[in-house]
Amino acid sequence: MSAVTGVTRATLVKDLRLEWRSKDAINSMLFFALLVVVIFSFSFDPTAEESRRIAGGLIWVAFLFAAVVALNQTWARELRNQVLDAYRVSPAPANSLFLAKALGNFIFVSVLEALMTPLFVVFYNLRALGPAYQLWFVASLGTWALVVNGTFFAAMSIRTRSREIMLPLLLFPISIPALLAMVEATSSILTGEFSAKFWMVLLAVYDVVFTTGCLFFFEVVLHGE
Amino acid sequence: MKRAFPILAILTAGLLSYGLYGALIQAPTEQTMGDVQRIFYYHVPSAWTAFCLFFVNLAASIVYLAGRSTKADALALVSAEVGVVFCTVVLVTGPIWARPVWGIWWTWDLRLTLTLVLWLIYVSYLMLRRFSSSGQTPMIAAVLAVLGALDVPLVYFSIWFYRTQHPQPVIGGGGSIDPRMLHVLLMNWLAFMCFATLVCWSRYRLEMVSRQVEERQALESLASRSPR
């Protein structure tokens, strides 16, 4: 167990430090999400009432697209200098690497969300009519759902040609229930018309199922044969 | 085994023509929908066949992950390909029927959405196989198949709740089915299953032969290089 936490911590700290110095992923994600927000607000121009209903969808679609930018860089970074091959031959457990990468992506996407949400609130005139504190649960469960599968499928798609196109093609179909849950939960909280309980439970189940599935299969995917 | 193939082909042809006769002539015309309802004899058996094939794909993928058998991998590939074809038939015939009966081409109903999501997952599976290079294809494809299957119950519950929360259009009520209609339906399903087995079988043989050819070519190119 200590090997898992030790390797996880070391990899996570290394990734965060790399990101802190280069700011590649976070800058490109931020600018991309900003563009999506601006383009959406041009194409809809909604009233406060309407925007409350559609904002859940817009926010999560923007975050999903932006997250793909970061997820694509997760493993591509390790291909340079054969870091991934070095990892394969080392005795460190594969799952600790996966956890570190997933946690790193979780932090990147959470930072993105924290920075972008005020912009959404300003541009779309948002104010939650339901219990706003539940948005914290929706955001963290939803982000983990995107990131855990995204990290896993990014590891799969580095084995393919044109890997940057492959990741969304794999990730989006599988993420449909999670995305539906995030969008519906956010809309229910913003409009205050329905309870978001069911969706949060569904997201939690989705997280548990796919975290287990990804941890179970990651070693197979990393070692290839 | 090789002799069974033409026998199955003849059987399939007979069953398919009998199924066509049953669907167009033998089955009684439905009271409210009229002749449009006859598409049902193609729509429903295709759906059942597609779901059976997706199940075969899942089973073959698990067998592959457990024992790394090449045959299981070829079977998984073949069943996904043929399953996607049958699923496409379902998604095309559905709207053709829905337009005159419901007055709309498409609705985000539970079964429709679930079929569409399944189709999307298996198309992404085939894309992965197509884009993936080298010998790791079978393994990552099998992992994707298992994760996709894990997704299905979650999709089911999410859409079920999504739909119960929103108003939904009236769907031709359940009720009982005429036994002659049921007979034709089951006959068509049998015919479609035979047809699917036939297509999978020949596609499977083709896949195995093309893999052998690839292997032989790889070996030959190695052998021609080694003397130098």
CA B206 to CA B196: how far, in whole Å? 15
Q: Of chain A residues 29-88, which have a CB less than 8 A from chain B? A: none
Which residues in chain B have their CB less than 8 angstroms from residue A217's CB? 143, 146-147
pTM of the model: 0.86
Confidence of residue B172 (pLDDT cuts 50, 70, 90): very low
CA A172 to CA A150: how far, in whole Å? 9
- Shortest Cα distance, chain B CAs vs residue A222, angstroms: 10
- Mean pLDDT, chain B, integer: 85
Q: For chain B, what percent of residues have pLDDT higher than 70?
A: 91
The size of the A-B interface in CB pairs under 8 A is 92
Q: Are A157 and B129 in contact (CB under 8 A)?
A: no
Q: Ramachandran region of residue B29, left (φ > 0), alpha (ψ -120 to 50) or beta? A: beta
Q: For chain A, what percent of residues have pLDDT higher than 70?
A: 96
Return the HEC string of chain B.
CCCHHHHHHHHHHHHHHHHHHHHHHHCCCECCCEHHHHHHHHHHHHHHHHHHHHHHHHHHHHHHHHHCCHHHHHHHHHHHHHHHHHHHHHHHHHHHHHHHHHCCCCCCCHHHHHHHHHHHHHHHHHHHHHHECHHHHHHHHHHHHHHHHHHHHHHHHHHHHHHHHCCCCCCCCCCCCCHHHHHHHHHHHHHHHHHHHHHHHHHHHHHHHHHHHHHHHHHHHHHHHCCC
Query: B155 — contact with chain A (CB < 8 Å)?
Result: yes
Q: What is the mean pLDDT of residues A112-118?
A: 90
Q: Do B159 and A180 touch (CB under 8 A)?
A: yes
Q: Do B133 and A160 touch (CB under 8 A)?
A: yes
CA A102 to CA A146: how far, in whole Å? 10
Q: A94-124 and A48-79 helices cross at what angle (nearest 10)? A: 150
CA B3 to CA B10: how far, in whole Å? 12
- Mean pLDDT, chain A, integer: 86
Q: A24-44 and A94-124 helices cross at what angle (nearest 10)? A: 40
Which residues in chain A have their CB less than 8 angstroms from residue B162's CB? 180, 184
pLDDT at B158: 83
Query: A206 — contact with chain B (CB < 8 Å)?
Result: yes
Q: Are A177 and A202 in contact (CB under 8 A)?
A: yes
Residue A111: both structure tokens together: 């930072």
Termini Cα distance of chain B: 44
Confidence of residue A152 (pLDDT cuts 50, 70, 90): very high
Query: A213 — contact with chain B (CB < 8 Å)?
Result: yes
Smallest CA–CA distance from A149 into chain B, residue? B147
Q: Do B131 and A161 touch (CB under 8 A)?
A: yes
Total Cβ atoms within 10 A of residue A125:
14
pLDDT at B173: 47
Helix (H, G, I), strand (E, B) or coil at A160: strand
CA–centroid distance for A89 within its chain:
29
Q: What is the mean pLDDT of residues B125-133?
A: 86
Q: Which residues contact A192 (CB under 8 A, 6 or more apart)?
A: A128, A129, A130
Confidence of residue A24 (pLDDT cuts 50, 70, 90): confident
Q: Are A178 and A67 in contact (CB under 8 A)?
A: no
Q: Are B93 and B99 in contact (CB under 8 A)?
A: no
Query: A98 — contact with chain B (CB < 8 Å)?
Result: no
Helix (H, G, I), strand (E, B) or coil at A117: helix
CA A101 to CA A23: how far, in whole Å? 16
CA A207 to CA A106: how far, in whole Å? 13
User: Model ipTM?
Assistant: 0.85
Which residues in chain A have their CB less than 8 angstroms from residue B120's CB? 172-173, 176
Max distance between CA atoms of chain B, in angstroms, equals: 79
Quick: pLDDT tens for B23-50: 888 777 777 777 778 888 888 889 999 9
Confidence of residue A192 (pLDDT cuts 50, 70, 90): confident
Confidence of residue A58 (pLDDT cuts 50, 70, 90): confident
Q: Which amino acid is at A135?
A: L
